[in-house]
Amino acid sequence: MIRVTRKYRFSASHRLHAAGLSDVENAGLYGKCNNPYGHGHDYEIEVSARGPLEPRSGRAIDPAALDRLVEEQVLRPFDHKYLNTESAAFQKTVPTTENLAREIYTRLQASWNSVFPGPWPLLDKVRIAETPRNIFEVSETHG
Query: Known catalytic residue: 33?
Result: yes
End-to-end CA distance of the chain: 25
Query: Known catalytic residue: 80?
Result: yes
Per the residue annotation, which of 14, 17, 103, 130 is the catalytic one?
A: 130
Per the residue annotation, which of 80, 86, 98, 140 is the catalytic one?
A: 80
- Cα–Cα distance, 24 to 17 (Å, whole number): 11
Q: Comparing C-alpha atoms, which of 46, 48, 44 is closest to residue 124? A: 48
The answer to whether 26 and 34 have CB atoms below 8 angstroms apart is yes
The answer to whether 74 and 24 have CB atoms below 8 angstroms apart is no
Query: Known catalytic residue: 130?
Result: yes
Per the residue annotation, which of 33, 39, 54, 142 is the catalytic one?
A: 33
Question: Between the CA of residue 90 and those of 2, 16, 96, 127, 139, what are the distances in Å?
Answer: 34, 11, 9, 19, 21
Q: Active-site residues: which are they? A: 33, 80, 130
